[in-house]
Structure 1
Amino acid sequence: MVCMGSLLFSASFNMLIPELPAYLSSLGGAEYIGLIIALFTLTAGVSRPFSGILTDTIGRKPVMLFGAFVCLICGFFYPILTSVSGFLLLRLAHGFSTGFTPTAASTFVSDVVPHKRLGEAMGIHGIAFSTGMAIGPALGSFIKLHFSYDVLFYSSSAMALLALLLIFNLKETLPQRKEFNWSLLKVSRKDIIAPEAMPAAIVNFLAYIGFGVVLTLIPDWTEAVGFTNKGMFFIVFTISSLLVRVVAGKLSDRHGRIKVIMVGVILLIFAQFWMGYINTPTGLMVGAGIYGLAMGVATPAIYAWTIDLSLPGQKGKAMATMYIAMEAGIGLGALLSGWYYQESISRIPHTFYASAILALIGVVYILFRKGKIAN
């Protein structure tokens, strides 16, 4: 049930992504395309410390419900806030959804499975979330092509409502729960980051910068090479990711997280160079497949590694730290690539090369720190 909830939740906000650059341009804000993802990830990242604390105190279920509720409400406001400033403000608010639900959902998964199968379980949960990432953009582009932006936004809310109903029927897994009070939101510096989870967070940050580039520029890049459905890249990317996640998760359970993460990040580097160099429809779809394979290998192992590194009773805080790094990477990639792009298609390959180099730094970090970080 938590996997189905995550699938629908993921589809809810991902179905908007391929069409938002064109929508923002129609509002007169073409120069702010990089902010579509950057603002969303900013509030997602800022909210992570709070979601981590609340996940470990009031429970996994309320935190998941809050994130889904934000998605539900935001879908209704896109047709109302039709100025550029209103749109950007709404992107900020919408980011709270992913700041809360994924943190609690991943922690929930770690509660209900044996630790020796944690990597496998994270792979299965990742399949659900990634399926939403595939269904969402493809469905979103279909709705926009055949109906309108308003129908697209309301459909996003409908997906969030279904996720909300599924999550509501879950049984809470936190044994010692506290009642919510505002004092829980008083976050000190030591509550923001779990230092023990930083190795996984650093690798995740460097790997996900490229994903911010993909989310921002792939819609225009896909159209430039000849596709009318801007969700095609995400379909191939996600199918490829789905095919490998469970196997990769099992391998990380048997042979260690580090080895599997290294393979995934090296594939990621190759995929980003490929997407920048090969600018044909077939080439881009091959690149999407390799990119999905890379993320499908690395992500479950990184998530499981984060739980491995966490302290007793602080799994939510560790997962929040990892997600903060992920959101920072996505946001930075989106912001810088959007700033550099300026609607010049010839600049897109350069952004892929740059993100590949940053992922390479992640490999170097693992190699130099291998003897000092837990496997």
Structure 2
Amino acid sequence: MKIHPLRILRIIGVLDGLSLITLLFISMPLKYFADLPLFVTVNGSVHGGIFLLYVLAIAIVQLRIQWGVSWSLLSVLVAFIPFGNFVLDVKLRKMEKTMRVKPFPTHWLVYAIIFFSFFDLFVQLPIMSTYALSVGATTFIAGIVVGMYSFMNTFGNIFSGVFTDKIGAFRILVFGLFTSSISLFCYQFVDSPEILIFVRCIHGFSSGFITPAAFTLLANIRRADEQGSGSAVTGAFVGIAAIIGPATGGILASKISVPNVLSFVAVYGIILLIGLFLLLRKISLPMRVKKRVNEKMKWNLGIMKAYGGAFFLMFSQGVLAYLLPIHIQNLGYSSRMSGTLLSVFGIVAVLIFILPTNRIFDFVNAQITLLIGVVLLGIAQIGIGFADDILWLYGTLAMYGVGFAFLFPSINAVLIEATTEKTRGKAYGYFYAFFSIGVVAGSAILGTLNLVGKPGFLFTGAVLFIFSLFVLVTLIASKVPFLKART
């Protein structure tokens, strides 16, 4: 007899509540009034382990019961309130009798794969340059090591797009996850800068196969009227990876070696690979190869806008990563403030992605929201350049987060609308190649022009406004309606 997911959540929730109560009302008094800190150490470890199981149980309920996300957030919240789990258990006992278990939503596995791809990218940011120096690289070679991943990623994106249309997204995802995970394990054998550069080439190229195939698969299995909000949810996973990836990499690297950190990411990739075989094998796309070979992607204005949006979004990101720490330092703040500000932009974007606000992308024309996103990014870049106090910086980074939240799902939706299933893989391949190029171009162009501080931010804002003007002119010329036609 199968146990209802809510029953599992209730059992672990009660255990979590009991461990919290014993920690607060027994172990902590023993530590502070009886000088027995061992009780807190042991009880705290047990409580932490149970809490991780509790969060996992919530995730399982979300996937199998598919209740509102607010219930999952509430379940996490009550875990921090004494006796909160017991109050929630009363409600869950009633819900257990009425809520039926649903089939596993396979698209969530694709979301997890997208998260893996971007988590793999972001976890490297705070550790790769110092790791390169630790194996004997010069600062110049360390820069090459860092940039090599994105450079090779571009080629992986293009190859992924071409072959996704020919042999199907499933096979490409299998190849990408397998080779990427193996390359992550290969860091264990790095003992010189030459070997590190070789591993970075393989890692970047193989990882480039994952994202275009995953986005193509999602686009093809989603309903047409949910492409906008669906792309917003996808953006939430990218945003979450951007928030927790660097922190995870930095924290783990301070406790274990960098190769072990990357091996930890590799284990996650292997788990996803197993899940892919178990859950997604039957919806491999496409199955027939012969009819796909001669299909050519037709370039049109929609594709050009999507690619332009992808390039300038990441151009802006590259500038932000390059200039913001310098700007913050010149204002007299610590480097920690840069991380906090970047987290603010990420959190704002993720909230817009996951809250009901994401429905705006199902109703408003994607080209309109694309224009809004680019304009907001331009205003935010200029605002950062003029910022001279911390509140202004927080406000402009929050605006940047809104712009990012509008632009990311919009360029995905525009690309989907401008392509067909037969050529969408190739379209996404080039799309993410523009992503990779944009990141490099942002910092490289400003570095070459020696634009730092206010001039750099003003230059970036001007570039974004020029692109927004192009989008606006094409919207007026094409008489694009503000709202989507509802079917």
Relative to the length of structure 2, the TM-score reads: 0.65
Q: Which structure 1 segments of 5+ residues have no match?
A: none
Code of the aligned partner of 1:236: V
Q: Measure how far apart 1:282 and its partner are.
A: 5.9
Specify which of 94, 106, 128 is matched with residue 20 of structure 1.
128
Q: Measure how far apart 1:136 and its partner are.
A: 1.1
Does residue 245 of structure 2 align to residue 136 of structure 1? yes
Determine helix, strand or coil for the equivalent of 1:41: helix
Is the Cα–Cα contact under 8 Å of residues 18 and 140 in structure 1 kept in the other structure?
yes
Q: Measure how far apart 1:298 and its partner are.
A: 0.7
Q: Deviations over 1:71-102 (max 9, x none)?
A: 31232233533444443443332222442111
1:235 maps to what in 2? 343
Does residue 216 of structure 2 align to residue 71 of structure 1? no
Specify which of 138, 156, 177 is matched with residue 287 of structure 2.
177
Specify which of 306, 316, 321 is matched with residue 210 of structure 1.
316
Tell me, in whole angstroms, the C-alpha distance in 1 between the residues paired with 2:474 and 2:146: 31
Cα distance, 1:61–1:235 mapped onto 2, change above 3 Å:
farther
Specify which of 293, 299, 313 is matched with residue 195 of structure 1.
299
Is the Cα–Cα contact under 8 Å of residues 228 and 359 in structure 2 kept in the other structure?
yes
Cα distance, 1:25–1:210 mapped onto 2, change above 3 Å:
farther
Structure with the larger RCO, 1 or 2 (CA within 8 Å, 6+ apart): 1
Determine helix, strand or coil for the equivalent of 1:195: coil
Determine helix, strand or coil for the equivalent of 2:189: coil
Larger deviation, residues 193-202 vs 299-308: 193-202
Q: Deviations over 1:155-212 (max 9, x none)?
A: 23233333333333332435541479xxx8xxx9x96x65132221123212221223
Is the Cα–Cα contact under 8 Å of residues 44 and 96 in structure 1 kept in the other structure?
yes
Does residue 160 of structure 2 align to residue 54 of structure 1? no
Q: Measure how far apart 1:115 and its partner are.
A: 0.1
**Which one has a bigger Cα radius of gyration?**
2
Q: Kindly tell me the number of residue pairs found equivalent between the two proteins.
A: 364
**TM alignment of 1:32-181, pairs within 5 A:** 35=144, 38-171=147-280, 172-174=282-284, 176-178=286-288
Q: Deviations over 1:124-182 (max 9, x none)?
A: 122123212222111111112333333323223233333333333332435541479xx
Q: Measure how far apart 1:15 and its partner are.
A: 0.8
Is the Cα–Cα contact under 8 Å of residues 385 and 453 in structure 2 kept in the other structure?
yes
Q: Measure how far apart 1:265 and its partner are.
A: 1.0
**TM alignment of 1:210-359, pairs within 5 A:** 210-215=316-321, 225-228=333-336, 232-246=340-354, 249-278=358-387, 284-337=393-446, 347=452, 350-359=455-464
Tell me, in whole angstroms, the C-alpha distance in 1 between the residues paired with 2:425 and 2:278: 21
Does residue 471 of structure 2 align to residue 366 of structure 1? yes
Determine helix, strand or coil for the equivalent of 1:2: helix
1:7 maps to what in 2? 115
Cα distance, 1:43–1:207 mapped onto 2, change above 3 Å:
same
Tell me, in whole angstroms, the C-alpha distance in 1 between the residues paired with 2:244 and 2:253: 14
Determine helix, strand or coil for the equivalent of 1:146: coil
Tell me, in whole angstroms, the C-alpha distance in 1 between the residues paired with 2:447 and 2:179: 26
Tell me, in whole angstroms, the C-alpha distance in 2 between the residues paired with 1:169 and 1:95: 26
Tell me, in whole angstroms, the C-alpha distance in 2 between the residues paired with 1:277 and 1:38: 30
Relative to the length of structure 1, the TM-score reads: 0.83
Over aligned residue pairs, what C-alpha RMSD do you find?
Answer: 3.3
Q: Which structure 2 segments of 5+ residues have no match?
A: 1-108, 482-487
Tell me, in whole angstroms, the C-alpha distance in 2 between the residues paired with 1:35 and 1:217: 19
Is the Cα–Cα contact under 8 Å of residues 264 and 298 in structure 1 kept in the other structure?
yes
Is the Cα–Cα contact under 8 Å of residues 194 and 321 in structure 1 kept in the other structure?
no
Code of the aligned partner of 1:323: Y
Tell me, in whole angstroms, the C-alpha distance in 1 between the residues paired with 2:402 and 2:368: 15
Q: Measure how far apart 1:123 and its partner are.
A: 0.9
Determine helix, strand or coil for the equivalent of 1:18: coil
Q: Measure how far apart 1:13 and its partner are.
A: 2.6
Code of the aligned partner of 2:351: L
Q: Measure how far apart 1:267 and its partner are.
A: 1.4
Q: Measure how far apart 1:61 and its partner are.
A: 1.6
Tell me, in whole angstroms, the C-alpha distance in 2 between the residues paired with 1:97 and 1:285: 37
2:22 maps to what in 1? none
Larger deviation, residues 151-160 vs 236-245: 151-160
